[in-house]
Amino acid sequence: MDKFIVHVDMDAFFASVEQRDNPEYRAKPVIVGADPKAGNGRGVVSTCSYEARKFGVHSAMPISIAYRKCPQAIYLPVDSAKYARVSDQVINILNSFSPLVEQVSIDEAFLDISDTYKIWGSAYQSCVRIKNQIKEKTGLTASVGLAPTKMAAKIASGLRKPDGLVEVKKDGLLEFLRPLDVGLLWGVGEKTKEILNQMGISTIGDLAKKSQQELISLLGKNGAWFWQMSQGIDESEVSVDHEVKSVSNEMTFEEDTRDKIKIEKELACLCELVSDRLREDKFKCRTITLKIRLEGFHTYTRAITLPEPTNFSEDLIRAIRRLFENFELKDKKVRLIGVRASNLSSADEEFLFKYKDEKKEEVHKAVDKIRKKFGRDYISRGCSVEPPDVISRD
């Protein structure tokens, strides 16, 4: 049976949501990410509108460079909760077209419509309906790729952005791939692309002319993978996995710091954010991970597994402080910190061991209600009051 794989990629997602919700931002350069601080900010661009891209701004660009390229842009902080809600809307739409949906990030997903496309006439018409449904229900546009393989569908969705639709048919797969830049293949990063370019390989077609053994000799075991991709061979399936693996938050300091009091306050605040998300999604965790990036971008993680599952902020704070106290900074300054909760289980499950202090649960429920009504900044712990010189958290 022929495969029909669809890749849906929301166009400039964060920025498009902001332009949708704020009509005065439309047709203007919008940059979502860290505070630029008039060109002295730290952190990066999360997403930017297509109007901003005309000035050379792109995702993951340092925010200071983005400001130099486009100081007149509208700079906005990341509103993770809002974007997650819109993302859920999009996934619900995709689930109505196929039970096989694989969300790979907040703004993109694969779906396999091989068994369902006939309901809407054809695979292509299914994609048209997907785009129309997203537009009607969210007010946003998506670019869609339709192909017999996941890799080809992913490439196709990016060729006519924004609001594009590209179909790659089975008998035209190789013809589609050959003229494309070799850097579009999965796994071909800058270093690999540089090596291939030095060998005179600039397109996928150039790569396809090499033998599998030649590529293995040149690139090691990955050579076999790249050879298969260049031949249009991609047997990867759309993987349906609705299980949440972890919940995390991190932040970057405006200036690298070795001030332990400031770092501990920010860690406490991150723990509260993670606790809020765990409770909102009805999860408890057993494993807490501390992430620290030092000056020079050296990044380290330390983890601890708790004896009982929890979603209480004080338990997370206690664990993360223990990890931080045992971490040797060696007089290095800290650039970034993060907190991740994993080893998740349902908060509705009955565990053999109950929390001894049932009042703790009641307190957290009361705080949850206050934050739901007035916003999470309305009430917070004294230990997590935000220092004045930090970037908004992701």
Tokens of 264: 């501990």
| CA-to-CA dists, residue 215 to 178, 206, 221, 297, angstroms | 17, 12, 9, 32
Q: What is the pLDDT of residue 33?
A: 93
φ and ψ at residue 247, rounded to 5 degrees: -130, 130
Residue 224: what residue type? A
Q: Are 160 and 38 in contact (CB under 8 A)?
A: no
**Per-residue pLDDT tens digits of the chain, which is 394 residues long:** 789 999 999 999 999 999 999 999 999 999 999 899 988 888 889 999 999 999 999 998 999 999 999 999 999 999 988 999 999 999 999 999 999 999 988 999 999 999 999 999 999 999 999 999 999 999 999 999 999 999 999 999 999 999 999 999 999 999 999 999 999 998 888 888 998 999 899 999 999 999 999 889 888 888 888 899 999 999 889 988 656 678 888 888 888 899 999 999 999 999 999 998 898 888 999 999 999 998 877 889 999 999 889 999 999 999 999 999 999 998 899 999 999 999 888 876 534 344 445 555 555 555 555 545 555 454 455 544 443 344 334 4
Which of the residues 108, 167, 264, 266 is marked catalytic? 108
- CA-CA distance, 149 to 237, in Å (whole number)? 8
What pLDDT, on a 0 to 100 scale, did the predictor assign at position 379? 46
User: Is 108 an annotated catalytic residue?
Assistant: yes
Residue 265 CB contacts under 8 Å (≥ 6 apart), including other chains = 383, 384, 385, 386, 387
- pLDDT at position 368: 52
As a whole number of angstroms, the distance between CA 86 and CA 107 comes to: 9
What is the pLDDT at residue 93? Answer: 96
Sequence-distant (≥ 6) Cβ neighbours of residue 390 within 8 angstroms: 251, 252, 253, 254, 266
pLDDT at 242: 58
* Domains, the chain, ordered by start: 5-9+81-174 (3.30.70.270), 14-80 (3.40.1170.60), 178-230 (1.10.150.20), 246-384 (3.30.1490.100)
Angle at 195 between CA 192 and CA 198, to 5 degrees: 150
From the list 340, 337, 274, the residue with the least C-alpha distance to 311 is 274
What is the reported pLDDT for 376? 47
Beta bridge partners of 127: none
